[in-house]
């Protein structure tokens, strides 16, 4: 099989890349599960934007401060300055951000933000954005789309990526020759026991890159979200209680019903404070109260959170809900440049599987959707400009024997990425001990 561009992943980055590529190119988009089962659909809080030039310095500083000043500053600059164009594109595709009675955007605020600069649609912003992008892609005649189709590996000609090896839903393996490959395979939450991510997101793209000696970066930069709904069911995906809830005034309490921390601290610091309090009390969770939020505003802004809490027996805002930290986001990944190109020619990485340094050590809330789309567009523009100079030769059939044992391969990829993360964490701990 041959295509011009193979895109792996159906989240907002993969879809937005498609929409920024010329319609005369043959594009093949595959996804490991169904099209809606990407973490982009799960994003609740919203998407940051530069609402006014006067907010640039503050937005920039908030992003760097949250990232412990380990951010790539040029990446941050590009993300912020590109945000108004992304918003215009999304509105064009039908995305309905919340507006006031005059038709102007309403902005919310989350932890570590100095100002209200986050666009939102109720508490399902990710679904609102990604579903409209998906619908737009489905209308394109030059795009072939396949669900339940897994990337097993890439194949190369020297330093050039020439395509991928995929497994179809019926179990068949096939090689797909491509002039460009874009990895938009998402995060690593499926390798954790407690995560807000879909279970099938197990860092496949990162592990495939590692096997081909493609540069990786900051594999130990894993973000834990401070507030997910506590559940006795350990197999259940952790349900996120959006940062916006605390941004609108919700308060945290220990089991003695005492406040113990500032609610709008950066995620990693707040997570640490919650864990300290849980350890001190010997408890499995702390409590979140939404009584400080106007009930009508709560129902209007967070209807899905309210309904989910109700389904689990909690009547908010009258009752507090139990919350606990859980793995949420991966700031590391495949190292890319400002155009999302990896260290291998003709191979790009975008979204959560890529690391362009924009987030630093800890991601600022609601920067993920924005960053994913900004750098997806840059990848698409560079591939478009370079396409006529790039041609992949035909290859003999690949030996599929190493990929035949599906369960073994999945287990290996899942374990190897966690081993790499643990290795990087051990290095960091040793370094900190030496410095102290």
| Cα angle for residues 418, 420, 424 (degrees, 5° grid) | 115
Nearest to 264 by CA among 280, 252, 256: 252
- CATH number for the domain spanning 127: value is 3.50.50.60
318 lies in the same domain as 339: no
Per-residue tens of pLDDT for the chain, all 436 residues? 999 999 999 999 999 999 999 999 999 999 999 999 999 999 998 999 999 999 999 999 999 999 999 999 999 999 999 999 999 999 999 999 999 999 999 999 998 999 999 999 999 999 999 999 999 999 999 999 999 999 999 999 888 999 999 999 999 999 999 999 999 999 999 998 889 999 999 999 999 999 999 999 999 999 999 999 999 887 789 999 999 999 999 999 999 999 999 999 999 999 999 999 999 999 999 999 999 999 999 999 999 999 999 999 999 999 999 999 999 999 999 999 999 999 999 999 999 999 999 999 999 999 999 999 999 999 999 999 998 877 766 667 777 888 877 778 777 777 888 888 787 777 656 655 555 4
214 lies in the same domain as 232: no
Q: Is residue 431 part of a domain?
A: no
Q: How far apart are CA 102 and CA 359, in angstroms?
A: 34
Domain ends where: 278, 303, 327? 327
Q: Is residue 428 part of a domain?
A: no
Domain ends where: 270, 305, 327? 327
Q: Is residue 435 part of a domain?
A: no
140 lies in the same domain as 24: yes
104 lies in the same domain as 6: yes
Domain ends where: 295, 327, 359? 327
Q: How many domains does the chain have?
A: 2
Range of the domain at 247: 226-327
Instruction: Determine how many CB atoms are found less than 10 A away from the CB of residue 273.
Output: 18
- CATH number for the domain spanning 251: value is 3.90.700.10
Q: Is residue 433 part of a domain?
A: no
Indicate the burial class of 154 (C-beta count within 10 angstroms; 0-12, 13-18, 19 or more): buried
Q: How far is CA 84 from the centre of its chain?
A: 20
310 lies in the same domain as 370: no
88 lies in the same domain as 181: yes
Q: Is residue 300 part of a domain?
A: yes
80 lies in the same domain as 65: yes
Nearest to 362 by CA among 66, 64, 111, 74: 66
337 lies in the same domain as 301: no
Residue 103: which residues within 8 A CB-CB, separation 6 or more? none
72 lies in the same domain as 202: yes
Q: Is residue 434 part of a domain?
A: no
**Mind telling me the catalytic residues?**
267
251 lies in the same domain as 386: no
Q: Is residue 436 part of a domain?
A: no
261 lies in the same domain as 388: no
Q: How far apart are CA 170 and CA 30, in angstroms?
A: 14
Q: How far is CA 299 from CA 151, 161, 295, 307, 366, in A?
A: 41, 49, 6, 9, 21
62 lies in the same domain as 153: yes
Q: Is residue 430 part of a domain?
A: no
Predicted TM-score of the model (pTM): 0.91
| Cα angle for residues 403, 405, 410 (degrees, 5° grid) | 80
């Amino acid at each position: 099989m041959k295509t011009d561009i193979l895109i792996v992943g159906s989240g907002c980055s993969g879809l937005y890349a498609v929409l920024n590529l010329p319609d005369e190119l043959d594009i093949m988009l595959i996804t490991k599960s169904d099209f809606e089962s990407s973490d982009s659909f799960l994003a609740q809080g919203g998407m940051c934007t530069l609402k006014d030039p006067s907010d640039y310095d503050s937005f920039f500083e908030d992003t760097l401060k949250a990232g412990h000043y380990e951010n790539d500053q040029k990446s941050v600059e590009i993300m912020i300055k590109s945000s108004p164009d992304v918003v215009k594109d999304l509105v064009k595709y039908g995305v309905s951000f919340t507006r006031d009675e005059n038709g102007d955007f309403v902005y919310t605020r989350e932890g570590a933000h100095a100002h209200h600069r986050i666009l939102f649609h109720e508490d399902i912003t990710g679904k609102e954005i990604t579903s409209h992008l998906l619908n737009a892609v489905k209308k394109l005649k030059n795009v072939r789309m396949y669900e339940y189709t897994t990337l097993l590996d890439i194949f190369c000609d020297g330093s050039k990526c020439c395509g991928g090896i995929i497994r179809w839903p019926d179990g068949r393996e096939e090689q797909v020759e491509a002039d460009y490959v874009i990895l938009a395979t998402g995060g690593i939450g499926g390798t954790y026991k407690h995560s807000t991510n879909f279970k099938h997101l197990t860092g496949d793209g990162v592990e495939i890159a590692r096997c081909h000696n493609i540069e990786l970066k900051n594999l130990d930069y894993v973000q834990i979200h401070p507030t997910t709904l506590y559940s006795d069911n350990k197999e259940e995906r952790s349900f996120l209680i959006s940062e916006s809830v605390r941004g609108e005034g919700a308060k945290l309490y220990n089991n003695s019903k005492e406040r113990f921390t500032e609610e709008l601290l950066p995620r990693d610091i707040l997570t640490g404070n919650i864990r300290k309090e849980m350890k001190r009390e010997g408890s499995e969770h702390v409590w979140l109260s939404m009584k400080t939020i106007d009930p009508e505003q709560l129902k209007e802004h967070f209807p899905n959170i309210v309904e989910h809490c109700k389904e689990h027996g909690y009547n908010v805002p009258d009752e507090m809900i139990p919350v606990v930290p859980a793995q949420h986001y991966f700031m590391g990944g495949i190292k890319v440049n400002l155009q999302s190109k990896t260290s291998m020619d003709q191979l790009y990485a975008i979204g959560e599987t890529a690391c362009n340094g924009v987030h630093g050590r800890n991601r600022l809330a609601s920067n993920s959707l924005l960053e994913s789309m900004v750098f997806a567009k840059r990848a698409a523009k560079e591939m478009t400009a370079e396409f006529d100079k790039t041609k992949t030769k035909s290859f003999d059939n690949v030996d599929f024997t190493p990929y035949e044992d599906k369960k073994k391969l999945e287990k290996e990829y899942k374990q190897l990425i966690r081993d790499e993360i643990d290795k990087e964490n051990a290095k960091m701990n040793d370094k900190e001990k030496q410095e102290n």
